[in-house]
Each structure stands twice: as structure tokens, then as C-alpha cells.
Structure 1
Amino acid sequence: MPQKTKNTPMMEQYLAIKEQYPDAFLFYRLGDFYELFNEDAVKAAKILEITLTSRNKNADDPILMCGVPYHAAADYIRTLVEGGYKVAVCEQMEDPKLSKGMVRREVVQVITPGTYIDEKAKESKANNYLAGIIQTAEKGFSLAYSDIGTGELKVTNLENEDAVFNELQTLPFKEVVLEPEHSERFKEQLEKRFNILVSVQKNNRDEEAFASLLADIPDEDSRDVLYLLLSYLSDTQKRSLTHLQRAESYETDQFLKMDTYARRNLELTASLRTQQKKGSLLWMLDETNTAMGGRLLKKWLEKPLINLTDILKRQSKVESFLNHYFERMDISEALTSVYDLERLVARVSLGNVNGRDLIQLKTSLLQIPTLVQAIESIGEPAVWEGTIAKLRSIPEVVELIEKGISDDPPLQIKEGNIIRDGYNEQLDLYRDAMSNGKRWIAMLQMEEREKTGIKTLKIGYNRVFGYYIEITKANLAALPEGRYERKQTLSNAERFVTPELKEKEALILEAEEKSVQLEHELFVAIREEIKGYSRQLQALAKLVAEIDVLQCFAQVSEAYHFTKPALSNADRKLSIKEGRHPVVERVIGKDKFVPNSILMGEDNTILLITGPNMSGKSTFMRQVALIVILAQMGCFVPAEKAELPVFDQIFTRIGAADDLYSGQSTFMVEMVETNQALQFATDNSLILFDEIGRGTATYDGMALAEAILRHIHRTIKGKTLFSTHYHELTQLEADLAGTRNVHVGAIEKDGELVFLHKLMDGPADKSYGLHVAKLAGMPDSLISEAQIILNGLEEEHLHNKTDDAAAADKMEQLALFQESSLSPNEKHVLDAVASLALEDCTPMQMMNLVDSWKKLLKTQKK
């Protein structure tokens, strides 16, 4: 009968360690395997598709288990981490052969989604951020983030939850760290909105340990969130983090603000249709040659500048590269041999670097003189002086690697042959002993064959018996008696040794063992010496990444005929001549794309755009925004000429989509996106509204659209592109100063609709909705029926319009009759009501106004 068993000492050790890491899969090292037990085993077996087995199968409570080979563990860990799980790696801390009792084990690292460094993705153009968030005493938030793979460490303060979510939307992060006291509601919102891991960490506030990293951060809220983030990194990584850069504080209003909706609608980094990079502005722009350049390009795209001086500095460098083709080609070619310096520095600091990584580091540093020479050849010191001064190849590191590391080192650092000959005298002696010893053995084999006359005699080696002389049983009779000492009997041969062979074996094996050990020690010493140059290497990496992005801008600008835009803070004129949508143009080809111009003077704030579906209204609006973004990144723009103001924010409401995560309908999403602009836009903002109000009843939608336009005109006054199918709104051109009608042209030819894709002055003559339906392939009978219904509706509308005009005329006459009998106070009240802007009044102001009118009318009666 099965019996309940008592836990073995090993299982007691496992359970004690697991208790410390309840939210992680515990990879418990047993010999050549990492084992998982109990619930960890059940879950891991399913996720990793490995066999679930058990210990003590005959017990009432058998211990479920599964395991993975230690040499293949990296792939299994990657699968778990990419699935949003944590892995605690528990290693044997002493040699089992030498230990007495239970082998001591400890967790040496907790690998989490936000701290994972993929060893197989050393050239990745994507960051992997870990974010930390705390709520401040003023009901605001502080947010810090770090990429452990590059050492980046940033912090900012944000005013509310929406600002936090919007900032997180710009970061490629996989995990957020919160304090234990943070609300469950906030945690659930993060998990629901971003589908990421939320971890909880006690804030240790180790001021002494993190003093150097926080030296430039005086703000207490910022320091608090950095302590939280660094506490988590320290507790999980359990190793030196000297590669982390000093924390940098930033303000979100230092950059062109774009909320979640704007980034999505403009397809900055991902296509709306596929959610992939291809088809986005990032895809179109990315001609970077290095991984760190690719990451910086994405950062610049997510956060364009608003400081005009900084924009113009970037522009000047792009123009300099554009005007010097051959120097730019030299730079581009050199950059192709530059590896990911940021991540190489991190690997050095974390102790993950191998010999080949150091060769990559040396190769990268050897390209720096070429970059310096090419930039100096351009001959524009005013543009490049600061860059040249900071570009230094760090020859000390190059020389150290050149002298110490062999040209083709192995992947593993404990296999030997990683240190170059001549670097260390003792290592050379060991190698000489190994080389001479093996030559001596080869000579001994030849001599013994001659002396014994046994041509098949051979000298071999294995780890159990060492070196041996092997003679087949067929030749044993020819062996002189007593010549060798018998060592091992095989089925068809005998193995022997001699005192001389044993002596040489001891010499060779000692040299091999000590050689490998010494090589590892020498390699670690080289690695530690290079670690001392981490700050210089990181500064160099930033500069090289910047050069890469600037040459990328020049490359794209030349290839796609971009021009240098003129930007100004003083003039709010928006003028683009023959502008193009850079992504659409690249996809369909320059010859097929129809460019368009836009001119909005200082006083022209609203452009009302009409025209049929598929005519290009949305494309035109997006291209204006993308031109602005490119310009404020410092890049040239797809246009013949562009004069632009510097915008502080871009708001969009383009396209129709449900928000399934929050349960919002298409129309609700439309209203939420619209409200973002109405709440936060300024007179320096760019607003793109496409078909506002179409998600509800016609008159509701039309009323909302007009009220929104009036609100923008009256209170915001920012540059607004407003496309609509409500032709009634085109009458606002006469009513709202600074509003202008334009339309995207389309003509009817032989009963077919032909899109001109060209922006023209004035409103469109009609919507051409039935023509678009016909183009979509709808049945002719359906189109004919729709035409009959449309004709009827138009006649009814015309009849109602005539009736309304007659009724209005009667009302006007009645008003004139009644107006003559009104007292001055009554007329004053009526005029006040007619001119009142309700949306600008608070409830208290409204009550005071009504009270004053009431008193005025009472006075009149007296």
C-alpha cells in the first residue's frame, strides 16, 4: 500500500528556496539538469512541452517533476520569460564531489520579462524597458525606466494616470514595478491595458549603494521611484550593475507631445492593419547600420523636439552629410562593422561577455578613426566641432584586446585557446609542455612499434584511465613478457602503461588543467580592466548612434527627394508645397503618388476638407502630420518646399475602431479621442479630425461636428484640419473667421467616378457615396435602388427646406412685430441670452447671470 513519505533533505532545501520566490519558476540545479517540482513542474511541462514525471511514484503524494538540460536552459528560459513569467536560477555553489552532506545551493539570478537580455539577439534594434511607478504626495506620479541591456536610466514626473499611461505607450517595456501599497485598481489597469507583468517590490532606499547613479537627481519624488527600480534590479540580478548610466531626468513637455491615439493613427512605429513595423514611418525611415542607431531612431521618432535651436543643429548635420556623398558613404561603410557597443558594455559589466564579444568590441573601436577622418574631411567645424572632440576610439582597450585575446576565440570562456600566445609567460610554458608532451607520446608510439614489431600498436587517452598503450589480442603473443604493466582488458585488446608514460601523462594533464584555469583567470582580468572604461564606451556608443541616425536621415532624404524645411517660432504660417505621404509614396511608387500643397496663414486656423471616400482626405491629413514630425526630428521632409511653425502637440481622430479592452464602441472611442484635443490642445497644436460625428445619428453628428469646430475656433485657435461629409458645415467659412473650404477633387466620367487625389479650393459638390459603393463591387440592382431612394430623400429635403424657409420668414415677421413692444431691459436680456457662450460658463456663473437678469426684469416691471 502506498505510504506518505517524509521530504528528503534535498526537497527540504528546494521548498525552503522556493518559498523565497513564490512568483517565479525555480530552476533547481541537479547535476547536468535544472529540475522543477510540484506546481512549477505542472505549469512548465505544459508551457515548454516537456515530459512531466514524478519522484516516489508509490507514495500517496508523489512529487511531480520535470527538467531541462543545463546546457540548453537558455532556450527554455526565453520561452517562459517571453510568456510573461519569471525564472529564478538556483545553482550549486560548491563541488558535489568535495561537499559534505547537502550541496549548498543559492538563487544567483531572477530573470524577468523586464530584465531579460536575449543572448541570441545581440544586434536588436529594440529596447526592453523595465518601468517603476510610485504615486506622489501631490496625487501625481513619478515614473522611472531602465534597459538593463544598454544601461539607460531615465526618470520623469507626471501629473495623472492618463499621463502615465500615455508615457508608457511610448516605451517598449515588458514589466512594471510598483510598491506594495499601490492600489490594486491601478495594477489591474496596467495589466489590462498593456497585457504585461506587474511586480511588487519593497522600496529599500539604499542611498549609499545608489548614490553615484542618483547624483544628478535632486527631486525627492524622482529619487524615490529610482530607489524602487534599482532595488528591484539589485534583488533580481544579484550581480554588479556598474554599467548602469547616471539617471537622467526629463520633462514630457520638452518634446512634441502625441498621445496614444495620435501615435497609433499616424502609424509611427507599427501599421494599423498588421501591427507590424512594415508599413510604418519607422520602417520607411530606418536606414541605420547599427543596432544602437536603430534604437535611437525610434526614440527620436517617439519624441520629436520642440526646441528650435536643437532642431536646427540636427538639420545642419543632416544637410552636411547630404552635401558630402563620398564622406557619408565612408561613414556608412564603417558603421556596418560597428557592433552593439551599448550591449557589449552591459555584457562586460554583467560578466556575460565571451572572447568573440571582445573581438567585436575591438572591431567596432577600430572604425572610429575612419568616422573621425570622414567628418574632418567634410570641413565644417562649426557643425561638427563638438562631435569630433568626443569621438575617441579608446586605444587602451583596443591594445588590451589585441594583445590578450586570440583572433578566433571559442564561444565558451572555459575551453582554453582564448588567450593569445605571448600574452602570459606561465601560460606559454604550460602550452609548451602540452605541445612537447604530445609530441613525445607520438614519438613513443613510433619507437614501441619498431621495438615490438607490432604495427597496430597505438597510444590513446580517455578521462578514466588516462594515457595507455593498446595492443590487440591477436598480437599479444609478439609482446615481450614483462615489458609493460597491464592496465585494462577489453574484449579484443589489452591496455598497458609504463612508468615513463605515467610521468608524461601527469605533466601533460597538469599543464592542460592549469592552462585552462589560468586562461580563465587572465580573461576575467582583461574583462575587469575593460569594465573600467564603461563610461567612456557608453558615451562613445551614444555619439556613434547619433551619427548613424543622422546619416540615415541624409540617406533617406537623398533617396526620396526630401527637402530642408524652414521652421519658426515667430510665424504660425503652415505652408507645404507639393507634399507627399512618405510611407504611401514608398509603397506605391513616386510616379503613382499625387502630391498636394497646403497653405494656412497666420490667421487661417481651420481647413474644412470635403470630398468622396477613397479620394485621399485621410492620407493628406496624415501626410501633413508626418511632415511636421519629420521636421521636428531634424530630418528633411517629403515636399518641394515647407515652411512650418514649431508645434507643441499633435492630436488626431482618424479612422474607426472599437476599443475591445475597455469595452468602448467606435463612437465612444471617437469622442474620447476628440475630447483629448479639446481638453489639452493649445494655439500651437496641430489637430487632425476626420469625419467627426459619423458614428451617431445624422443630426446628432452634425450638431457635434459644428459645435466642436466653433469651440476650436473660439477657445483653442490651433491649426486644425477637419475633413467631413457634412456639406452643411462648409457654410461655416462665412461665419468663422480663419476657416477655409478645400476639397479633394473627383470627376464623373461616363458614369464612372475618377479620383484626382488633388486638393482644390472650395467645398466638394457632392459626396459620390453611390459611386464609391459601385467601385467596391456592390450589385448594380442595389446601386439603382439606392439612387431612387437618394432622389426621394433629396426631394423631401428640398421640400422641407422650402417649408422651413417660409416658416422662418413668418417667425422673422413675428419677431419684428414683437420686438417693437419690448422694453429696453427686456431687449438687453434677450441680446445677452443670444450672445451667451454656455460652454464657457461655470454653473455658478450661470446662476449669477440668471439672477442679474431676473432683477433687471423686476426693475422694469416696477
Structure 2
Amino acid sequence: MKKLTPMMEQYFQIKEQYQDALLLFRLGDFYELFFQDAEIASRELEITLTGRDCGFEDRAPMCGVPHHSAEGYIDRLIAKGYKVAICEQVEEASKAVGIVKRDVVRIITPGTLIDTQLLDEKKNNYLMSVYGHKNGLGISYVDISTGELFTTNIINNDWIKDLKDEITKIQPKEVIYYIEDDVTFNDTFLQLCNQFNVVINQQEEWSFEHEYASNILKEHFNVIGLDGLGFEVKDNGIISTGALINYLKETQKRFLGHINKINIYHISETMVLDYSTRANLELTETLRGKTKKGSLLWVLDKTSTAMGGRMLRKSLEAPLLNIEKINERFEAVTILKEDIFLRKELKEHLKNIYDLERLAAKVSYGSANPRDLVALKSSLQRVPLIKELIKDRNILLESIYKRIDPLSDIEELINRGIVDDPPITLKDGGIIKAGYNQEVDKYHKASKEGKEWIAKLEEKEKTKTGIKSLKVGFNKVFGYFIEVTKSYLKQVPENYQRKQTLANCERYITPELKEIESKILGAEEKVVVIEYNLYIELRDIISKEIARIQATASAIAEIDMITSLSEVAAENNYVRPQISKEKIIDIKDGRHPVVEKIFNNQMFISNDVYIDNDCHQISIITGPNMAGKSTFMRQVALIVLMAQVGSYIPATEATIGIVDRIFTRVGASDDLSQGQSTFMVEMSEMANILNCATEKSLLILDEIGRGTSTFDGLSIAWSVIEYISSKIRAKTLFSTHYHELTELKGIIKGVKNYRISVKEDGEDIIFLRKVIEGSGDKSYGIQVARLAGLPQEVINRAKDLLLRLEEKDIARVEGIDIKRAQEEVAVSKEEVNESADSMQLDFNSLYSNNIIEELNNIKLLETTPIEALNILADLQKRVNQLLQGGK
């Protein structure tokens, strides 16, 4: 290796501190990357990999991106999970002694994006911090683009379940963590983050020490104790929040004044929805396309602002449990639903409000440009009008009214100081409005007068020289000049000094033009500097009022969400449900909010449902595939969830008892990354439901036990129903193709049978989509297969086999000769009868356990003898188990 160049020495000194990030090293108008960073960026960004002579025998791999368009490239790297360290010149080149000083000014990670162009405007971008200890978990998360900070403390034995639920709800883009002395938990936690495609950054132990984290919080929030922030002494949330703030300090390298409040919450305060439930109910995105269209959020989101959209999403992710709060929201929605003029006037003002939360964050962060401030001003002009519209309405609207600060002082400051149509950048001036500052006005006048002098000079020189094509021009390289085309060169006066020769013309300068140029450019250079400083000063004044802007932004977001819910209710003929303390769900003419919206050209068949924790606890629903069982069950869950969000619902009337959790086990899927089969996934989800559900929960169970053999699956489904009935007492909708389960009505308390009605028309079936009481006796599988397009030959063969199977057992269909089988196994019918007699079964005592019915249905002499013996042996075993159990 030769001696390194000074620039590369500087590069290596900086890169040594940021080895886990891609270092974008500013050189002139480009960000350059070197060595392995360059190879990664070249591959991920599909840009050319070149080389540079930096003192090595071989040229150093290098690639770069233009400084003015770097955001798009950075966004692509962040989306792929990389950290990006931005290294800028931190001193002016003219003042540098030797090589210009450079340093990293910011580290961008997936969880620390603040550029609104890189973010989903109606979705938060969260960075999460997790601290695990033997006595529980601390979970904190922040959206740096809005300043929202949340934390909770979890103390129980099932950390993984609660953590998974929180990650599912929060959907962080990045997680920092430290888990104390628990290898198993570490491994499980990493698998969980990988499952949700979350970027993980394990931190050093010292950043998760209680004292260090406490000091970080005291310093950031400028307090002497943490009790005022709402923490308890041994709260794990202190550690996770302190580590989170510390990580932001290290990566953002500036004070983040817009993160000025901690929202401490408990997971029991809102309805808990696990991953499977959120996915199966398609709350915010569809299962297949992972798009918003087709989700519940797609139906309910008529918000006019980005803030309102984010609040609505969060409300769907965490429905309310407090009846009083739900009813307050209902009252507000009712007022706006019934007053169409008020609703439309509010929407007219709301649609002109920009994202106040993210604008406030950019002001505090120091990245707000002049156009951001104009957007803030125009938004604040609408705030007093909205405030006046909701005055004296109801409890919730009145509380929102009180939280809205008109912020007229900030609006007036921006209106007085910033021009109405400013440039994006600060370096070209033209930002400060006339009348705001005398010195700026003086230089603007000088510049304007100078340009008038230029115009007069051009006319004077044309007249004096007789050169009609003469003109005075300007560019940034040569300044002002007099341009003369070559056909008039003989008429150029002697006092013209040649400055530049072009193909068709010559450019000149005169002493008078130089003098005017000096005045104009001197004024423009000075005014740019003055305007820049005035703008920074004005922005700093506003940054001190961030808390006020955030409070108003939150209030505006809430009124936007309520307006959206009221508009959806009015457009779709939704009704207000009654929220009850009773443990019932009683819905009349319920409809699926998404399905009816997608198929708006067809009449949606509405259905009733009634379930409680007593005589109507478990509804067993049978019917053919495609008849609508899953749609019906999902619509019940969505209606309950909408009610607890405070939204009107698609029904004619309903009474909803508060549900603490909704669980769903719907559909078949595997998890190959975890080595789990379809049936294992089904059983894992079922285990989670049975272990976590309470009598206040709503269970949506679809086709339990279908992933294994018929008798295994039937046994599991039967046992699950018994367990729910006797142990959990949860309200349950249970769809199945096991028609045998309908016989549980009258045997297990609370079981009711329902079926989806169909109409047969020859070989065709018509799905009536109506849920009626009773049990189905056919599955119509072959008809559905025909509708799906199976070859007719397959359909015909299936019909033939079905007919024969319904008449005889499978062994007889395949032509097995019973006598021959008897001879082969050397078992006689007499031996079978002797074995049956030896069991000495007490049919009367077994009747209550349904074994007598099973025995009556067994035709031993129609089976092979060895099969008969196996059946009897199995029955003997089951009888013994029953007798030992004291049944």
C-alpha cells in the first residue's frame, strides 16, 4: 500500500466509527461510497461500480449518487434494511486549512425516517425498543416524524404472546433491544421479528441500564424525577424508553424537541387482537394482495387529513373497552351524521389542512423549508373555523373544542414574514416578505433599482452604437455582460472590453456595467445571507411552540376521524348499536361491511345472530363450501369491532356486549420458515385461543380439525367445543363440515345449530346466503367442484363413487370378499361374538355418554372379522377410561 491520500485518511477515520452503516461521503456535488459499501450500493441501487486511486496498489471500488437527488437512493437502501450514515462538509471550503472538515450529520435507519416523501402519509413509521428482564418486559415505540412516544410495562409469564400482539399492533419498521440472560427468549424474539420483516438492532448492555436510561430521560424531558412523567420506580418502561431516546440522540445528532410527551398505556385498556385475527379479519390490508383496498380500513377511511387517517388506523388496531368513551364517540358521530351541512362544512375545511404533526416535527428537527411554513400557515387559517363549528355540541366535541388552540400568533408570524410562494431552498433568497425587515427591504430595493439601471443601460447602448441586436445578459459564471452578434462587431465601441467569444457572438463588459453589477450582486449576496438568518430565527421561534401545534393537530385528527365515521355511516345506511354490560351479541340484519361495498351492484343478504354466555353460547354452522359461512362469521366479528371503535354498523339494530378479545381460526396455511405444517399452524393457533380466551371473548372458528384424518379431526373439534363450553364460556361461532357435531345440541349446554340454506335446481345449487336454525345434512362438494371447473369425467366418477359409498362401506365397494378375509386371518364370527360378550357392557350406564348410539350404528357382521375385533377393542378401551373417570 502506498501512502493514503488525505481525503482517504479522513474517510477511514470516519468510517471506523460507523462500521454498521453505509457511509455516504460528500465530495462536491456527489455522495460517494467506497470499498464494500460501494459494492453493496452498486448492487442494490443498480448503479455503476467504478474505482479511485486512493493510495492502494489497486484502485478502490467506488460509486456515487448526486447530492441533489440522493433521497430516492437513500430510500431504496433503507427499504432494504440498511443503515445509511450521511457525511457532510461541516466547514466552508474557503475557510479550510488543508482538507475540508467532514463529519456524519445523521444516521438514517428504517425507524428514523422523517422525510414525508418517503413515508406513507396515513400510517405511522415506528421505531420500537424492547427490554427483557426476569420480571417482565418494557416496550416503547416512537414515530420520529410525528413525535408520538408510547411505552408500556408487561409483568407476566407469557412475554412472547404479549410481545407478539404488540408487534402485530404497532408494526414497527425497526426494533432495538436487549434481553437479559435468556438465550431462549432471544432466539424466539429474533424469529418473531423476522416473521414480521422488522429490522433488528441489538444494543449494548450499558444503554439498557436503569440509571443510565433514567438520566437520559431526565435530560431530554428536563425534569428532576421520573414520577412526574408517569413512571413507577421499577418500571421496565423507563429502561426501554431511555434506550430509545439515547438511540435517537446517537443517530439523529440533534435535540428532538417535538418528542415532548410520553404516553404510558396498559395492554388491558383496549381490545387485544392477535396476528391471526388482524390478518383474517383484514382490518388494514387484505390477506392476498396486502393492499388497503378490500380491508375494513378501506371502507371506513373517508378522512381528509393524514393525521386523521393515522388516528383511524390506530383506533381499528385497538378498539375501546370503556362503554362511556364508546358512547361519547357515538354521540359525536351521531351529531355529524344527522347534520349533513355541518359535516360537509367540516370536510371542506379539513381537506385544506396539511399534516400538522409532521410539519411540526420538521420545524423542531430543523428540516422545514419555507414551503413547509406556508403549508403550516394555510392550515392554521382553517383551525379557528373548525373550532367554531364544533362549539357547544356534546361532551366529546366540547373536549376537542377546548383542546384546539387557534395558534393565530404563529399564523400571523408566518404570514408577515414569509412570501406566499417561496422557493424550496434557502440558498437563493426570495423568502422574506416585504415589510418584515428594513435591511432586507433596503437590499431588495437596491437589487430592483440595479436591474432597472440594467434595462436603461441596454436601451442607451443600443441608441449610442446603433446595434439593434445588442442586449445585456447575465449568468452565474460570467456575471453581467453586453452581447453583440458577429454581424455588428465593426460597430463595437473601443471602450467595450471583450469577456467571452461564442460561435455567433461576442460578449463584452464596460466600466459602467461593472459598477452596476457590483451593486446588484453585492446586494443580492448580502440579502441571501440576511434572509437565511431571518428564516432560521423565525423557524426557531415556531419550534418553541411545537407542543401547542401538536395538541391542536391531535384534536383536528380526532374531529377528522369522527367526520369520516359519520360520513361512512350516512353513505352506507349504518345504524348505531347499543353497547351493553350484558354478555350478549344480538345483531339484526347484519351485513359484511367490505363484501357489500365490493359487490355494490348486488343485493347483500343480511343475517341475524344471537349469542350469549348461557343457552346460546356456541353456534355450530353447517353448509356447503362457498355458501357464505366464513363471510357470515367474519361479519359478526367486524360488526363487534366497529361498535367498540365507536363506528356505526351495517345492520338494522344491534346490542353488543363489550368483548375483551376477538380470536379467529380461519382458513388453511402453513409456515414453512418455522417448519410448521398446515395442521400444526392450525393447532398452534387453536392452542393460543384456548389458553388466552375469557368468557368476554368472541371466538370465530372455521373448520377446526380438517387438517388431519376424519376421526382425528372430528375428535379434536368435538373436544374443543366441550372445552369452550365448560372451561372458557366464550361466545363462539363454529363452522364445520363435520355434520356429526350437530348432534351436540342438547348434549353440551349452550350449543345451537345453524345452517346456510341452499336451493337445489337439478344438478345445480343456488346459494341463498341465509343463515337459518337447523343442521345441514349435505356438503354439496361435487356441485361446488363442478362450479370450480373440474373436468366432467372427474365429476361423473365422483358421483358414481359417492352413490356407492353412501350404500356400502369402502371395503365392500372395493370388492373385498369377507369369507376369504376370514380364512386369511383365521378369525371366526364366533370369536368376534365371544369377544363382544366378554366385555359385559352396561348399555344403560353408557347411554348418557352416547356410546350406546355408537354401538347401535356399528354393523360388525358387515365388516371383516379383524376390523370387528379392532372396533370392539377400541370401545373396550374407551369404556374403561370412562369408568375410571367416574362418569
2:597 to 586, 592, 595: 586
**C-alpha deviation, 1:517, in angstroms:** 0.9
1:68 to 35, 49, 65: 65
- Counterpart residue number, 1:201: 203
RMSD of Structure 2 on Structure 1 (CA): 2.7
Correspondence for 2:608: 597
How has the CA–CA distance of structure 1 residues 380 and 460 changed in structure 2, closer, same or farther, with 3 Å as cutoff?
A: closer
Residue in structure 2 matched with residue 766 of structure 1 by the alignment: 778
Partner SS for 1:210: helix
Q: What is the aligned partner in structure 2 of residue 673 from structure 1?
A: 685
Shift of 1:794: 2.9
Q: How far has the Cα of 1:212 moved from its partner?
A: 4.2
- Residue 41 of structure 1 is matched in structure 2 by 38
Aligned equivalents of 1:308 and 1:722: distance in 2?
28
Q: How does 1:134-145 map to 2 (within 5 A)?
A: 134-138=131-135, 140-145=136-141
Aligned length: 817
The alpha carbon displacement at 1:788 in A equals 3.0
Q: Aligned to 1:185, which of 184, 187, 190?
A: 187
Q: Map 1:62-211 onto structure 2 (within 5 A).
A: 62-120=59-117, 124-138=121-135, 140-158=136-154, 159=156, 160-179=159-178, 183=183, 185-186=187-188, 188-202=190-204, 203=207, 205=213, 206-211=216-221
Taking the TM superposition and a 5 Å limit, the aligned residue runs for 1:637-648 are 637-648=649-660
How far apart are residue 284 of structure 1 and its match?
1.3
Q: State the partner residue of 1:433.
A: 446
1:589-614: CA deviations, max 9, x gaps?
27421110012245121111111111
Amino acid corresponding to residue 442 of structure 2 in structure 1: L
Separation in 1 of the partners of 2:570 and 2:487?
80
* Aligned-residue offset at 1:422: 1.1
Distance 1:777 1:466 in 2: 77
* Residue 745 to residue 508, structure 1, CA distance change in 2 (3 Å): same
Contact 1:452 1:478 in 2 (8 A): yes
Match of 2:524 in 1: 512
Which residue of structure 1 aligns with residue 413 of structure 2? 400
Secondary structure of 2:94 counterpart: coil
**Which residue is 1:857 aligned to?**
none
The corresponding residue for 1:502 is: 514
Residues 365-374 or 348-357, more deviating: 365-374
Q: Distance in 2 between matches of 1:600 and 1:456?
A: 91
Deviations, residues 368-396 of structure 1 (Å, cap 9, x unaligned): 222123223xx534453222222232100
**Unaligned segments of structure 2, at least 5 residues:** 813-828, 847-878
CA contact 2:483–2:507 (8 Å) conserved in 1? yes
Partner residue in 1 for 2:431: 418
Distance 1:501 1:716, change over 3 A: same
Contact kept, 8 Å, 1:132 with 1:178, in 2: the verdict is yes
Distance 2:845 2:484 in 1: 132
Alpha-carbon shift at residue 490 of structure 1 (Å): 6.2
The answer to whether residue 18 in structure 2 is matched with residue 21 in structure 1 is yes
Deviations 1:458-503 (A, max 9, x none): 433344443344455665554555x455656667766554444333
* 1:848 corresponds to: none
CA deviations 1:687-743 (Å, max 9, x no partner) are 111111111010000111111111111100010111111111111111112111111
Say whether the 8 Å CA contact 1:55–1:64 is kept in structure 2. Answer: yes
Q: Deviations over 1:634-691 (max 9, x none)?
A: 0011111101110001111111111232121111111111111110111111011111
Distance 1:807 1:650, change over 3 A: farther
In structure 1, what is the Cα distance between the partners aligned to 2:325 and 2:706? Answer: 41
Rounded to whole Å, the distance in 2 between the matches of 1:737 and 1:435 is: 91
Aligned to 1:259: 274
| Alignment equivalent of 1:338, drawn from 340, 353, 371 | 353
Contact kept? 2:165, 2:272, Cα under 8 Å: no
Distance 1:539 1:553 in 2: 22
Is the contact between residue 4 and residue 55 of structure 2 (CA under 8 Å) also seen in structure 1? no
* 1:709 to 2:721 alignment: yes
Q: 2:754 aligns to what?
A: 742
CA distance in 2, matches of 1:637, 1:837: 49
Question: Equivalent residue for 2:842?
Answer: 815
The Cα offsets for residues 543-576 of structure 1, whole Å up to 9 and x where unpaired, read as 111111111111111111111101112x112211
Aligned residue among 20, 35, 53 for 2:50: 53
State how far apart, in whole Å, the 2-side matches of 1:798 and 1:448 are: 111
Question: Is the CA contact (8 Å cut-off) linking 1:415 and 1:516 kept in structure 2?
Answer: yes
Distance 1:492 1:365, change over 3 A: closer
Structure 1 position 449 matched with structure 2 position 446: no
Deviation at 1:162, TM superposition (A): 2.2
Confirm or deny: 8 A CA contact 1:572 1:601 kept in the other structure.
Answer: yes
* 1:381–1:180 distance in 2 versus 1, CA, 3 Å: closer
- Mapped contact 1:179–1:228 kept (Cα < 8 A): no
Q: How many Å separate the matches in 1 of 2:689 and 2:73? A: 46
The 10-residue stretch of structure 1 (187-196 or 762-771) with the greater mean CA deviation from structure 2? 187-196
Is 1:698 matched with 2:700? no
CA drift at 1:137:
3.5
Residues 225-624 of structure 1: pairs in structure 2 closer than 5 A: 225-376=240-391, 380-471=393-484, 475=488, 477-478=490-491, 481=494, 483-484=495-496, 495-569=507-581, 571-589=582-600, 591-603=602-614, 604-624=616-636
Q: State the TM-score, normalized to the length of structure 2.
A: 0.88
Residues 156/450 of structure 1: CA separation in 2 closer, same or farther (3 Å cut) = same
CA distance in 2, matches of 1:198, 1:817: 64
Deviation at 1:123, TM superposition (A): 7.2
Give 1:221's match in structure 2, choosing from 223, 227, 236.
236
- Distance (Å, rounded) in 1 between the aligned partners of 2:57 and 2:791: 71
Q: Give the conservation status (yes or no) of the 8 Å contact 1:114–1:129.
A: yes
The whole-number CA distance in structure 1 between the counterparts of 2:744 and 2:327 is 38
Indicate the larger mover: 93-102 or 607-616: 93-102
CA contact (8 A) 1:568 1:646 kept: yes
Partner of 2:794: 782
Q: Larger deviation: 364-373 or 336-345? A: 364-373
CA contact (8 A) 1:126 1:294 kept: yes
1:187: how far off? Answer: 5.7
Checking the alignment, whether the CA contact within 8 Å between 1:122 and 1:343 is kept in structure 2 is no
Following the alignment from structure 1 to structure 2, what is the Cα–Cα distance between the partners of residues 422 and 594? 67
1:132-159 CA-partner distances (Å, limit 9, x unpaired) = 1111231x22111111001010011234
For residues 780-826 of structure 1, give each alpha carbon's deviation from its aligned partner in whole angstroms, at most 9, with x where no partner exists. Answer: 332332233223333346999xx9x999997897537999xxxxxxx
Is the Cα–Cα contact under 8 Å of residues 141 and 161 in structure 1 kept in the other structure?
no
What is the deviation of 1:450?
2.8
- Residue 104 of structure 1 aligns with an amino acid whose one-letter code is K
Instruction: Determine the C-alpha separation between the residues in 1 that align with 2:448 and 2:14.
Output: 47
Distance 1:684 1:81 in 2: 42
Q: TM-score, structure 1 length as denominator?
A: 0.90
Gap change, CA 1:590 and 1:672, over 3 Å in 2:
farther
Which residue identity lines up with residue 594 of structure 1 in the other structure?
A: I
Unaligned runs of 5+ in 1: 820-829, 839-862
**C-alpha distance in structure 1 between counterparts of 2:56 and 2:840, whole Å:** 101
Tell me the percent identity: 44
Taking the aligned partners of 2:83 and 2:533, their CA distance within structure 1 comes to 32
The letter for the 2-side match of 1:432 is K
**Matched residue, 2:3:** 6
